[in-house]
Amino acid sequence: MIKPLFLLLVALLSCMLPTLGTSQHPLWIRYPAISPNGQTIAFSYKGDIYTVSISGGLAKQLTTHPGYDSHPIWSPDGKQIAFQSDREGSQDIYIMPALGGTPSQLTFQSGSEIPCCFSPDGESVYFTASNGFDKEYGQFPFPNMQQLYRVPAKGGRIERIISLPVNNVSVNQTDNLFLYHDYKGYEDAWRKHHTSSIARDIWIYNKKERKTRKLSSFKGENREPVFSPDEQDVYYLSEQSGDFNIWKMSLQHPDTTIQITFHAKNPVRSLSIAVDGTLCYSFDGEIYTIREGEKARKINISILTDQVESREILKNFTTGAQEIAVSPKGKEIAFIQRGDLFVTSVDYSTTRCITNTPSQERQIDFSPDGRSIVYAAERDGIWNIFCSTLTNPKDNAFTYATSWEEKQLTHSKEAPCFQPQYSPDGKYIAYIENRTTLKVLNLQTNKSITILDGKYNYSYVDGDQYYCWAPDSKHILASFFENGGWNNSDLALLPISETRPPINLTRSAYNDNTPKWVMKGNAIIYRSDYNGYRNHGSWGTNSDLYILFLNSTEWNNWKKTKEEREFYGQDTLKDKNAPFELEHLSDRLLRLTWSASSVGDFYLTPDGKKLYYSARSEEGYDLWVQDLQEQSTRLCLKNGGGQLIPHEASHKLFILSRGRIQVLDLNSGQNRPVTYNADFNWRPGEERHYIFEHIWKQMADKLYDPNMNNTDWQYYHDTYQRFLPHINNNYDFSEMLSEMLGELNVSHTGTRYTRQENNITGKLGAFFDEKFQEDGVKITEILHQGPLDLPQKGVKPGVIIRRINNKPIRKGQDWQHLLNRTVGERTLLTLYDPSTRNEWNVFVKPIASDHALRYNRWIAQRRSIVDSLSNGRIGYVHVEAMNTPSFRRVFSEALGMNRNKEAIIVDTRFNTGGWLHEDLLTLFSGKKYMDISPRGQHVCVEPFNKWSKPSILLVNEGNYSDGHGFPYGYRTLGLGKIIGMPIPGTMTLVWWETQQDPTLVFGIPQMGIKANNGQYLEHQQLEPDTRVENDPNKLLQGIDQQLEQAVRELLKEINQ
């Protein structure tokens, strides 16, 4: 009887398996690795490590921790698996038995360490990490570049193996030869189909000889090399056939290549190899194996696991509101958070969630009667206008309402509609269609009319259009530009009763924006940079607030003195419906603020007596009040900048600043917080589905090329959408999105997942002797201005750090973890000087990153090289980024310390962009046209704020975005020669859009830049006049061949 009962239970359990979490066809399986004996495959699925037989079947789950586990690799005997995990906060390396068990942590630094392979004897794990180059290496200290390290498999001190930038390393059986693909500079790792100088190549490094040799020659992507079993050939991934497939090359004759797999449209990833030559890889979310000369075979896998991620998770918000609207009675505040609409009481923390959808709502406004809230929502792949309205006549507030209903107001199928605003009389709703066209919806007829054509604006960021209703509900003010004036907006007056071109109220070459109606509609107040100082280097200006009167009556009233107002009173308009006086507008324009600043939002009281505005300070934006009658200004609220919404009936000003809501009583000057307690049912799976659709549609709507770079965008939507049910974390999600976006083969895209890391390892700002085998760590060089730059306390090269916070540093043991969580903290170091045998203590404050210190060291070295090779005749500057700090440094050094040099080298290598090309081109395009010489004394030349002597430009594959734009302009204007390596064509403007899940950001390369020949600079590689490739073997010796060639070229020019 027992046996039949047992069989019955087994049968019942088998029927129940699907409901218990069995995935008969799991997808988005990541980072497969085949065991050395070719019998088992390890892989990552939904953030855990599994193994499965090479024959397929039910996979075995090895890790169950809530952290994210990935990148498994096998020990040579197949008994252990090392992998990456963030279970302790950082992405560290762990090791565990291949049959399962408790993992042991091997690395402890913050950041990301990626395991590559075991040493042949299984005693060490090789991994890559961005811990900084060694002191001899001459490469620019680009923070994203990883080097090769090893750590004992039983735990211990890490050791640097290769200082070159390397990825996806494999080692031969003698533990001497290392295959890797290089990293030349920034480009999204998941971009595909590009053939440019930035594309990765395969190299082989000889550890004994400390030399590396390039193997691949295809100009596109070559990645993930592994040795063949006899170590005579290399298998690797390449796009040589158009899509990533497995290829083979001979180590002796690497130009001879053979294609092994023939997949199309989707990429092959994660290549590994067994001792018997079986190749394993992922394709289209699944695992395949192949032996050379045979057909690829898909591994059919099933997984039995619980549903780790809840379908619905209750969250609670008390801060973090992103936008607000105040009810007409001033008793409620509507706000947006995590893409949903909430309403809270002004006086109590009671809060109601109005929408609670996985999609996004935004841009809210109360109806004049307070019974409706209008907003934009993205539903079914398109933005439209919706409103929620109270349905119970007894309800007079959303916060305590018993019921409400949602109604869709616009029904666009193609053009998105958002930014709705009620008219003051409640009869109309204005909104933006297709991101730039301003329309007005008549709520009685349900028909819309266009009042501002889309050609008058360009939308860079969704929601960046500005307009506001007039008090009479008959006119609208809007920011706009006329033909070609995108960089300097004007103000348009738009009547809603007639179709006519916009009335330009300002006609200025300056930036006039964000107009608001004041003085009962008789004047407008707006922001302008007319009198503001420009930042040194294209990044922003200071602004003022101006008032423009639309009729002479109100203008004359304004001009009266306080005494005249008290004695004569105010003039009144004879006809309140009189048309605006649009002639001689500039005669009725007045600057309100006395000194320009970085002005945020603003509000003028109805009587025109007080002006409230936010302005930037060192710590953020502060709220100021200016008494326009008494001619005085005072600080009203520290850190009170942000969105300002007045409630004039109660004389209150509501402020949204840094996610917190405050209310300021304008009579008493007292402010208090508005607290809320918002419960939110978070549905992570549904939210990811929405974000996927949103990103796909955003790219379709806004990519600079409407033909999507000849990509079948719908195909890739359908291909990648299939993986959503198999993803439960943002690591996998961001990679999947990046894979999809990478199919477009454009720059400035991909999805970034940023998580909060609390276990940050402090940096001491020094180089250490990596061959030192005793207790402690020996200092070999101290970085200038770093935490250890303490010569007065005896800290110098040769000194040994013995203890950190009284914890000893033992020989062969990891010591970096002793600096975890020490950033900015007073940290005790015990030092020992072998030359004097003295031991003493010093306190230091470790820093989060030493990149700036390493960069300054690199700059000083370049400057010294140039000075030495040119006998002091040539100057040197490096343009780190296209921003104001970089420009100020270049300007100061070029026209300061290098003023009397005969020529200058302008180094832009690894400049990843920004917006500065015009300023730099102006700076280095000077032509001397006079000397200034009082009484025979030479004091300067004109132009004195430009470089007017010879220059030469250094570039390389790491120039990106405007780091490409400046060299293009330099060549087009004929300013000098360009030396170095070709620059990938990436001069395109991007919008990095943060999602409603704020840990996710993706890029839209939306604004293409065309050369004078009409061709987009995107994809147009810039070739230097003299091509010089820095030999990695020379860089290991600190030799910069590109810089040396630039000196030779300039000396030749100035000697002529």
pLDDT recorded at residue 255: 94
Predicted confidence (pLDDT) per residue in 942-996, tens digit = 999 999 999 999 999 999 999 999 999 999 999 999 999 999 999 999 999 999 9
* Per-residue CA distances from 325 to 143, 308, 425, 814 (Å): 42, 38, 17, 54
* pLDDT of residue 577 exceeding 80: no
pLDDT recorded at residue 560: 84
Query: If you write DSSP's letter for every residue of 979-996 in order, what string do you get?
Result: EESPBPS--EEEEEEEPS
Which residues, 6+ apart, have CB-to-CB distance to 567 below 8 Å? none
pTM reported for the whole predicted model: 0.94
pLDDT recorded at residue 565: 76
Predicted confidence (pLDDT) per residue in 750-790, tens digit = 999 998 888 899 999 999 998 899 999 999 999 999 999 99
Residue 186 CA neighbour count, 13 Å, CB half: 20
* Per-residue CA distances from 54 to 42, 236, 240, 285 (Å): 10, 21, 28, 17
Catalytic residues: 748, 961, 1018
Handedness of CA 490, 491, 493, 494 (dihedral sign): positive
Superfamily of domain 851-985+1021-1055: 2-enoyl-CoA Hydratase; Chain A, domain 1 (3.90.226.10)
The Cα–Cα gap between 829 and 776 comes to 11
* pLDDT of residue 430 exceeding 80: yes
Can you give the C-alpha Rg of the chain in angstroms? 33
Predicted confidence (pLDDT) per residue in 326-339, tens digit = 999 999 999 999 99
Preceding omega of 943 cis (within 30 degrees of 0): yes
Average the pLDDT over 815-829 and give the result: 96
Query: If you write DSSP's letter for every residue of 487-509 in order, what string do you get?
Result: TS-EEEEEESSS----EES---S
Pick from 589, 559, 590, 552: nearest CA to 574: 552
* Amino acid present at 885: P
CATH class of segment(s) 766-844: mainly beta
pLDDT recorded at residue 578: 65
The Cα–Cα gap between 160 and 151 comes to 9
The continuous run of DSSP H or E covering 972 comes out as helix 962-972
The continuous run of DSSP H or E covering 188 comes out as none
The Cα–Cα gap between 100 and 77 comes to 15
SS3 for 724? helix
Share of the chain above pLDDT 70, in %: 97
CATH fold, domain 25-304, is Neuraminidase (2.120.10)
CA 726, 727, 730: angle at the middle one, nearest 5? 175
SS3 for 483? coil
List the structure tokens of 362: 């935004």
Residue intervals of the chain classified under CATH 2.30.42.10 are 766-844
2: confidence class by pLDDT, cuts 50, 70, 90: very low
The Cα–Cα gap between 687 and 999 comes to 13
The continuous run of DSSP H or E covering 734 comes out as helix 730-742
Q: What mean pLDDT value characterizes the chain?
A: 94
Tell the residue number behind the tokens 């001497």, with chain if given: 176
Pick from 490, 577, 578, 570: nearest CA to 526: 490
482: confidence class by pLDDT, cuts 50, 70, 90: confident
Which residues, 6+ apart, have CB-to-CB distance to 688 below 8 Å? 724, 727, 733
Any idea how long the chain is?
1056
Tell the residue number behind the tokens 């304004």, with chain if given: 558
The Cα–Cα gap between 215 and 255 comes to 8
Strands (E) across 481-609 are located at 490-495, 503-504, 512-518, 523-528, 544-549, 589-591, 599-604
pLDDT recorded at residue 403: 96
572: confidence class by pLDDT, cuts 50, 70, 90: low
pLDDT recorded at residue 456: 95
Pick from 476, 473, 475: nearest CA to 465: 476
Residue intervals of the chain classified under CATH 2.120.10.30 are 25-304
pLDDT recorded at residue 15: 41
Which long-range CB contacts under 8 A does 614-617 form with residues at least 24 apart?
Answer: 614/640, 614/641, 614/642, 614/644, 615/641, 616/641
* pLDDT of residue 8 exceeding 60: no
* Strand-pair partners of 325: 334
81 close to 100: Cβ distance less than 8 angstroms: no
Tell the residue number behind the tokens 């000397």, with chain if given: 931
483: confidence class by pLDDT, cuts 50, 70, 90: confident
Residue intervals of the chain classified under CATH 3.90.226.10 are 851-985+1021-1055
* Per-residue CA distances from 509 to 512, 536, 685 (Å): 9, 19, 49
* Amino acid present at 557: N
Average the pLDDT over 190-194 and give the result: 97
